[in-house]
């Protein structure tokens, strides 16, 4: 169990640029979640994958955001035309597929800063 | 709307004493609750959970209590240790009745716990 891995750890970019984050879940975890955390708040749900299928998206996920999990293993989250309000910590979590009540294991996140 | 609330932004306790962290929720469809601990620059780490069919769950120094009628849960840490100093998040999962819940977590705002030696 090598844990959930997220890359990069930090991303600094100018407003209007596109950014892409990667998440490698724990091996054989079918469920993969993306969350966003801003200062002083708890993580907020963005989207959920079961294997390669994206089954749920939050209203927080505007059309500038897109996520994929092409082979049911790693996942990517892309933000197009970044805005100041996109500055946040983006967290990925995974859990086994047998029960939705299994605790989710989180990566250390990607901190996005928009200049 | 904040469906899970942690009304105490911070808590300070002495080493060896009890830490009590509180959490309230408004959504009656929540049926599973978890506590996560977060250190700076790390992702949240699962601590303990409780199903809505129980009112208490214990794991070592950590005990979670659930009062469904009051929509309130609390995490007790006894005895508190300096290494427990972290941000604690309460989180909830909605019932899968109807097959529409995929286990997403709804988090509170967090409580910063500081345990003094």
pLDDT, tens digit (0-9, with 9 covering 90-100), for A42-60: 999 999 999 999 999 999 8
| Interchain pair B102, A109: CB under 8 A | no
| Interchain pair A105, B46: CB under 8 A | yes
Q: How many CA atoms lie within 13 A of B3 on its CB side?
A: 15
Q: How far apart are CA A109 and CA A112, in angstroms?
A: 9
Residue-level pLDDT at B98: 67
Residue A95 has pLDDT above 80, yes or no: yes
Size of interface A-B (CB pairs under 8 A): 66
Residue-level pLDDT at A71: 87
The beta strand positions in A2-109, using DSSP E, are 5-7, 10-13, 19-24, 31-37, 44-50, 53-57, 65-68, 75-79, 88-95, 105-106
Residue-level pLDDT at B40: 92
Residue in B with minimal Cα distance to A34: B104
Which residues in chain B have Cβ-Cβ distances shorter than 8 Å to A41? 109-110
Percent of chain A exceeding pLDDT 90 equals 86
Low-confidence ranges of chain B (pLDDT < 50): none
Enter the DSSP assignment of B44. -
Any CB–CB contact under 8 A between A25 and chain B? no
Q: What are phi and psi of A88, to 5 degrees?
A: -175, 175
Any CB–CB contact under 8 A between A44 and chain B? yes
């Amino acid at each position: 169990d090598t844990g959930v891995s997220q890359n990069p750890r930090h991303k600094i970019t100018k407003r209007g640029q596109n950014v892409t984050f990667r998440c490698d879940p724990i091996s054989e975890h079918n469920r993969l979640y993306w969350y966003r955390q801003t200062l002083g708040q708890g993580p907020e749900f963005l989207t959920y994958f079961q294997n390669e299928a994206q089954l749920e998206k939050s209203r927080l996920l505007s059309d500038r955001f897109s996520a994929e999990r092409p082979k049911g293993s790693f996942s990517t989250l892309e933000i197009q035309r970044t805005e100041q309000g996109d500055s946040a910590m983006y967290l990925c979590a995974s859990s086994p597929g047998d029960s939705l009540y299994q605790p989710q294991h989180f990566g250390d996140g990607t901190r996005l800063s928009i200049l | 709307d904040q469906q899970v609330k942690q009304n105490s932004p911070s808590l300070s306790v002495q080493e060896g004493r009890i830490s009590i962290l509180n959490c309230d929720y408004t959504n009656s469809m929540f049926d599973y609750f978890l506590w996560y601990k977060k250190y700076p620059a790390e992702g949240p780490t699962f601590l303990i959970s409780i199903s809505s069919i129980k009112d208490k769950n214990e794991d070592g120094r950590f005990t979670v209590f659930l009062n469904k009628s009051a929509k309130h849960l609390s995490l007790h840490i006894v005895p508190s240790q300096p290494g427990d100093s972290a941000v604690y998040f309460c989180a909830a999962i909605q019932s899968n009745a109807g097959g529409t819940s995929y286990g997403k977590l709804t988090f509170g705002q967090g409580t910063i716990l500081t345990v003094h030696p």
